[in-house]
Chains A and B, each alone.
Chain A
Amino acid sequence: MSNSVSGFGRWIERTIRPLGAWALALSLGLLGGCGGGSDAAPTFGAADPNATLRFAFATGVTRFDPHRATSSYDNTWLFPVYDRLVHMDVDGQPVPGLALNWRYGSEGEWLEFELRPDVRFHDGSELDAAAVRANLVRARTVRGSAVGAELASVRDIEIIDALRLRLHLHWPDAALPLILSDRAGMMIAPAAFDDPTLDRHGVGAGPWRHVEFRMGNRATYERFEDHWDPDAAGVRRLELRLIPDETTRLNAVRSGQIDGTNLASLQIEQARLAGLTVMHRVGVEFLHIQLNRSASHFGDRRVRQAMNHALRRQAIVDALGLGYGQATVQPFPEDYVAFDPVTGRQHYGPDVERAKALLAEAGLENGFDFELIVPNISAYLPLYEAVSDQLAAVGIRTRARVLEGAQISERFYGAGESDAALVQWGGRPDPSQTIDLLFTPGALPNPGGHSTPEVERLARVARREIDPELRPAALVAATRAITEEALALVISLPPATFALQPAVAGFNTWISGNKPEFRGVVVRHRIGEGG
């Protein structure tokens, strides 16, 4: 009879035995970790210019053609290869990149860039006004462009001389400088435009040359010695790896297989106990229940306000994020240029009675049902259970539909299926991008295309206000209208969290969150165990 337990039984046995050994090793490791809190921390000397920096991320890259790359998280993998016209500092301000400076015409009818001289692409060709123009034309027109819509204000591109060019605009576009710090402003060597390998092998003018790419695994980069900024590439080699599982990523840093990674905030204490450098920052990424406001009852402002009142955001942040993160009703972090201090973070405080009253006003005293897409990622399930429980308390019942990431894009954004999705918005360099993409009609990230006339008007004003003195007020006004109309159902802003080997220095947390750049990051020589 034992014979008939057969292959499957033997397989179970084969699987269980190593698991047992692994569990034992893990528990010993944990014990060792607890007991081994020695105070003999290693000390480090100067940066090693020949070092290799190995960093892992949870999301991979769709393709190395920046104009056709579809995810904002592709940026992480593209930044080493591609410099942009405008760069962004860690706080989200535009700073000179390939362009030394830029200025608008008096009415915002054009935007002129002066380029950095003597810049070369990795293939040796010169980066001049003609190359930039060719890139911008391609970004708008290449088949399958993912950034063309962001350049909709550009009417024509005029070359003034070898290092100056002028973008003639349909309308004043205040977001353009920061849009050009994103994928739309990445400069590809023109000779590689039509190279079919561009999707797998990037050729730009960034601090590192692209050496190797293994889809679904890793990308390797090597310092570009002729880069215009000699301090940008602090390490000779850069290896970015894709490791989807958060536990595996943390273990890889702990064991020294990699030098750094992004983490979940749950893992902060664990990483600290392991002696790693931990950094976290709340940025422009946010978790939200994105409503298709043309579906279910979401076209009614009272319903959206009721849902906002139903959520107990701080409790969610405290329980599921262990207190890390910002509970807020606004799609921007506090102290950010577009944050509205008048409505504040708690405009819709948790208030079950108010929520029920609003639903009754909307003729829904018995509540209603809607379908909510939930990503098939372990971190989202407890979040779904928490929000569905809180919505149920005011009579709003959810039906979960669990989907993979790619299916969510296709089903929710592409086909307009389902009523809502529990997702994270990756944020954009310019606040007008987020406002326009999520809260005005016509953009892919706003399924159903719903908006209100007031929000549309204020969004347009904020996008077109090129006076840097006046723009913050315009952005704040747009955010206030979005909040008062309850167009968003924000849950919280989770912190982008990173764990690094102590030898790594110069790493920054960026307001863009999980899309860091590696300019100036170094790996230091280890000179021994200090006291």
Chain B
Amino acid sequence: MSEPNAAALDQLGASVSARRRFLRRFLRQRPALYALGFLVLLALGAVFAPWVAPHDPLAQNLDRVLEAPSFDHFFGTDELGRDVASRTLFAARISLLAAFQAVVIALLIGVPPGLVAGLFGGQTDNLIMRITDALMSFPPLILAVAIIAVLGPSLTNAMIAVGILLSPTFLRLMRGTAMAVAQETYVEAARSIGCSQSWIITRHILPNVVSPLFVQISVFAGVAMLAEAGLSFLGLGAQPPDSSWGAMVGRGFRYISHSPSLIVFPGLAIAVTVLAFYVLGDGLRDSLGREVRREQ
């Protein structure tokens, strides 16, 4: 009984120091830190939007529509006289929530079968991967539109669609990583002393596949946000009175010749936020990648 405990302790010690080294590496990544800072600020702004926003995002004023940016309305007003700055801030809630929803759905759909395929191999692996291949052979946007056509246009349905589309990548990532980890000696050791399958998965496999997962989550949060923006632009995502940045660009597009600022600010918000997710993902990958190389 003392043997496995020692092995587990070793493993724990190694991962704690690895985590510390990872953190040290990450703190040296300036762009990634800025990106993280921006995302944290954005999330705080979204959470505290009711207190931060200068105006009620739904308050209409039909006498002051399509106004250019001014001191009263920093980003101008939309076609119903609503304050674009406040709407952009409130839309951050929807856009971030949408990205979160899509990634969670993708994780729920992708991770468990990926682990199973990686660990068990054989026919199970074959079956799961063929289903994945079939899913990946669909053109993504068309599949998303088809899913929304079945479920009806709403933000949650759009994000279910995006989540389904992102899930194969998580699945493949999990499968590959799990396969590699399953060959490690400590897993073999655990197996040989009779540890149960669920023990091995939760204590040995999962902690070692989580790091690459975080990188992927960050990148895919950006991808999901972009996909949400595209679907909302087409009217298939957020429905009024809710509004996401993509929906704001879609709505503002009709008024492009009267008030270009309507699409500029939410468009910028999408671009900067997606970039921040990508840069953060790159930073995470670089911090992690060097560690992996050094350990090898």
* Chain A contacts to B: CB under 8 angstroms: 1, 4-9, 11-12, 15, 246-247, 264, 266-267, 269-270, 273, 312, 315-316, 318-320, 322, 376, 378-379, 381-382, 384-386, 389, 400, 402
The distance from the CB of A432 to the nearest CB of chain B, in whole angstroms, is: 35
Q: Is the pair A385, B62 in contact by a Cβ cutoff of 8 Å?
A: no
Instruction: Look across to chain B and name the residue whose beta carbon is closest to the beta carbon of A8.
Output: B140
Q: Is the pair A385, B226 in contact by a Cβ cutoff of 8 Å?
A: no
Q: Is the pair B239, A7 in contact by a Cβ cutoff of 8 Å?
A: no
Q: List 14 A-B contacts (CB under 8 A).
A: A1-B289, A4-B172, A4-B216, A8-B165, A11-B139, A15-B141, A269-B257, A319-B81, A378-B235, A378-B250, A384-B240, A385-B80, A385-B240, A386-B80
Majority DSSP secondary structure for residues of B touching A: helix
Instruction: Look across to chain B and name the residue whose beta carbon is closest to the beta carbon of A33.
Output: B257
- Residue of B60, B140, B166, B250 near A386 (CB, 8 A) is B60
Instruction: Look across to chain B and name the residue whose beta carbon is closest to the beta carbon of A379.
Output: B254
Cα A315 to Cα B258 in complex, Å, equals 18
Q: Name the 7 nearest CB pairs between A and B, nearest first.
A: A315-B62, A319-B62, A319-B65, A270-B257, A4-B173, A6-B169, A389-B60
Residue B93 lies at the interface, judged by CB distance under 8 Å to chain A: no
Q: Is the pair B253, A247 in contact by a Cβ cutoff of 8 Å?
A: yes
Q: Which of chain A's residues have a CB closer than 8 A to the CB of B258?
A: 266, 269, 322
Q: Which of chain B's residues have a CB closer than 8 A to the CB of A5?
A: 169, 219, 223
Cα A273 to Cα B58 in complex, Å, equals 33
Cα A6 to Cα B135 in complex, Å, equals 13
Q: Which of chain A's residues have a CB closer than 8 A to the CB of B219?
A: 5, 9
Cα A378 to Cα B236 in complex, Å, equals 11
The distance from the CB of B29 to the nearest CB of chain A, in whole angstroms, is: 15
Q: B157-179 CB contact bits vs A (8 Å, 1 = yes)?
A: 00000000110110011000000
Q: Which of chain A's residues have a CB closer than 8 A to the CB of B62?
A: 312, 315-316, 318-319, 386
Q: Is the pair B241, A376 in contact by a Cβ cutoff of 8 Å?
A: no
Q: What would 19 more interface pairs be, CB under 8 Å, given A315-B62, A319-B65, A385-B240?
A: A1-B285, A1-B289, A5-B219, A6-B136, A6-B172, A8-B140, A9-B223, A11-B140, A264-B254, A269-B257, A312-B62, A315-B63, A319-B63, A319-B79, A379-B254, A384-B240, A386-B62, A389-B80, A400-B239
Interface residues of B in 77-92 (CB under 8 A from A): 79-81
Q: Which of chain A's residues have a CB closer than 8 A to the CB of B153?
A: 376, 402
The distance from the CB of B75 to the nearest CB of chain A, in whole angstroms, is: 17
Residue B280 lies at the interface, judged by CB distance under 8 Å to chain A: no
Q: Is the pair A385, B254 in contact by a Cβ cutoff of 8 Å?
A: no
Cα A269 to Cα B216 in complex, Å, equals 47
Cα A318 to Cα B216 in complex, Å, equals 49
Q: Is the pair B254, A378 in contact by a Cβ cutoff of 8 Å?
A: yes
The distance from the CB of A380 to the nearest CB of chain B, in whole angstroms, is: 10
Interface residues of B in 224-278 (CB under 8 A from A): 226-227, 230, 235, 239-241, 250-251, 253-255, 257-258
Cα A378 to Cα B215 in complex, Å, equals 37
Q: Which of chain B's residues have a CB closer than 8 A to the CB of A322?
A: 258
Cα A320 to Cα B80 in complex, Å, equals 7
Q: Which of chain B's residues have a CB closer than 8 A to the CB of A11?
A: 139-141
Q: State the interface size on chain B (CB cutoff 8 A).
A: 40
Cα A149 to Cα B244 in complex, Å, equals 46
The distance from the CB of A321 to the nearest CB of chain B, in whole angstroms, is: 10
- Residue of A12, A270, A382, A402 near B79 (CB, 8 A) is A382
The distance from the CB of B18 to the nearest CB of chain A, in whole angstroms, is: 17
Cα A288 to Cα B93 in complex, Å, equals 33
Q: Which of chain B's residues have a CB closer than 8 A to the CB of A15?
A: 141, 230
Q: Which of chain A's residues have a CB closer than 8 A to the CB of B226?
A: 12
Q: Which of chain B's residues have a CB closer than 8 A to the CB of A246?
A: 254
Q: Which of chain B's residues have a CB closer than 8 A to the CB of A4?
A: 169, 172-173, 216
Q: Which of chain B's residues have a CB closer than 8 A to the CB of A385?
A: 60, 80, 240-241
The distance from the CB of B208 to the nearest CB of chain A, in whole angstroms, is: 15
Cα A4 to Cα B219 in complex, Å, equals 10
Cα A389 to Cα B136 in complex, Å, equals 43
Q: Is the pair B140, A402 in contact by a Cβ cutoff of 8 Å?
A: no
The distance from the CB of A121 to the nearest CB of chain B, in whole angstroms, is: 42
Cα A90 to Cα B226 in complex, Å, equals 48
Q: Is the pair A1, B253 in contact by a Cβ cutoff of 8 Å?
A: no
Cα A384 to Cα B63 in complex, Å, equals 17
Q: Which of chain B's residues have a CB closer than 8 A to the CB of A264?
A: 254
Q: Which of chain B's residues have a CB closer than 8 A to the CB of A389?
A: 58, 60, 80
The distance from the CB of A161 to the nearest CB of chain B, in whole angstroms, is: 57
The distance from the CB of A512 to the nearest CB of chain B, in whole angstroms, is: 25
Q: Is the pair A320, B254 in contact by a Cβ cutoff of 8 Å?
A: no
Cα A246 to Cα B256 in complex, Å, equals 13
Q: B57-82 CB contact bits vs A (8 Å, 1 = yes)?
A: 01010110100000000000001110
Q: Which of chain A's residues have a CB closer than 8 A to the CB of B54?
A: none
Cα A386 to Cα B285 in complex, Å, equals 47
Q: Which of chain B's residues have a CB closer than 8 A to the CB of A386?
A: 60, 62, 80
Residue B212 lies at the interface, judged by CB distance under 8 Å to chain A: yes
Cα A1 to Cα B170 in complex, Å, equals 11
A381 with B255, Cβ < 8 A, contacts A1-B215, A386-B62, A389-B60 known: no
Q: Is the pair A1, B212 in contact by a Cβ cutoff of 8 Å?
A: yes
Cα A315 to Cα B61 in complex, Å, equals 9
Cα A264 to Cα B227 in complex, Å, equals 28
Cα A429 to Cα B165 in complex, Å, equals 50
The distance from the CB of A324 to the nearest CB of chain B, in whole angstroms, is: 13
Instruction: Look across to chain B and name the residue whose beta carbon is closest to the beta carbon of A377.
Output: B235
Instruction: Look across to chain B and name the residue whose beta carbon is closest to the beta carbon of A393.
Output: B60
The distance from the CB of B281 to the nearest CB of chain A, in whole angstroms, is: 9
Cα A11 to Cα B139 in complex, Å, equals 9
Q: Which of chain A's residues have a CB closer than 8 A to the CB of B80?
A: 319-320, 382, 385-386, 389
The distance from the CB of B132 to the nearest CB of chain A, in whole angstroms, is: 11
Cα A270 to Cα B240 in complex, Å, equals 27
Q: Which of chain A's residues have a CB closer than 8 A to the CB of B285?
A: 1
Q: Which of chain B's residues have a CB closer than 8 A to the CB of A6?
A: 136, 168-169, 172
The distance from the CB of B232 to the nearest CB of chain A, in whole angstroms, is: 12
- Residue of B79, B136, B139, B230 near A320 (CB, 8 A) is B79
Cα A379 to Cα B253 in complex, Å, equals 11
Q: Which of chain A's residues have a CB closer than 8 A to the CB of B63?
A: 315, 319
Q: Which of chain A's residues have a CB closer than 8 A to the CB of B254?
A: 246-247, 264, 266, 378-379
Interface centre among A7, A270, A318 (most CB of B within 10 A): A7
The distance from the CB of A390 to the nearest CB of chain B, in whole angstroms, is: 8
Cα A316 to Cα B81 in complex, Å, equals 11
- Residue of B65, B172, B240 near A400 (CB, 8 A) is B240
